Structure 1
């Protein structure tokens, strides 16, 4: 059994989905582990991780609009506003999604469906540098 760990730095411009599938695949290939388990962990409370459709960008736009309605910026709704009006909605959006993903690795590749991509979901309006930890274990 071998394992490897890597910190993937993801720059975001604003709220929305940033595909990181290519970077994740490159990390897995470099490790030369044929069969195993890849864990991704987002080290933030206002960003999350998703596996989602990567062929039609309208899916991403619909998801973003849905979350805007589900956890809107409305200062009358929230007590917490330490970092601005988008802070508490960002925490709620993270609570409703995932900060960790587990993906099987087979034949040296993450096992994803044909239309699946891996995304960092930025929930804040301003640009951020996000840290996603990749941990691969296998043989």
Structure 2
């Protein structure tokens, strides 16, 4: 088994859910081609997340943002507020959604479903650039 790894940096994004499938595909192009394997993605932040969901209709991403905003934002009992009112909700959303994904590689490409795309969940109002460790097991 061979393991290849690199860290990519995503440009800053607004708060919400963003399709980053193409950025991950670009990272794979810089790695040795593999017919069959596993791709592991890990985001190195506590206020952003990774998930897989609908890649066609952008209203799904809006609904996701609205749902997580509804359950986590503007709670009067938060103590961790010195980094801003969006910080504690961002930590909660990141914990709920997760910091890593594992995707099969088949015939040299990510084996995602027809309607699946990789989401970056940006949970801060001004989160800045985000780093993702991309590891390919072949």
TM-score range, shorter chain: over 0.9
Moved more, 65-74 or 22-31: 22-31
Which residue in 2 is equivalent to 1:2? 2
Inter-partner Cα distance in structure 2 for 1:49 and 1:126: 17
Moved more, 2-11 or 38-47: 2-11
Inter-partner Cα distance in structure 2 for 1:24 and 1:13: 16
Which residue in 2 is equivalent to 1:13? 13
Q: CA deviation at 1:73?
A: 2.5
CA-to-aligned-CA distance 1:13-66 (integer Å, 9 cap, x gap) = 321112111121222244201110100000010000010101000100000000
Gaps (5+ residues) in structure 2? none
Moved more, 20-29 or 49-58: 20-29
Q: Say how many residue pairs are matched.
A: 137
Q: CA RMSD in A?
A: 1.2
On the 8 A contact 2:8/2:27 being kept in 1, the answer is no
Q: CA deviation at 1:2?
A: 1.9
CA-to-aligned-CA distance 1:99-139 (integer Å, 9 cap, x gap) = 0100010100011000100111100001411001000010x
Which residue in 1 is equivalent to 2:61? 60
TM-score, normalised to structure 2's length?
A: 0.94
TM-score, normalised to structure 1's length?
A: 0.93
Q: CA deviation at 1:12?
A: 2.5
On the 8 A contact 2:18/2:61 being kept in 1, the answer is no
* Structure 1 runs, 4 residues or longer, greater than 2 Å off: 26-31
On the 8 A contact 2:18/2:121 being kept in 1, the answer is yes
Inter-partner Cα distance in structure 2 for 1:126 and 1:6: 25
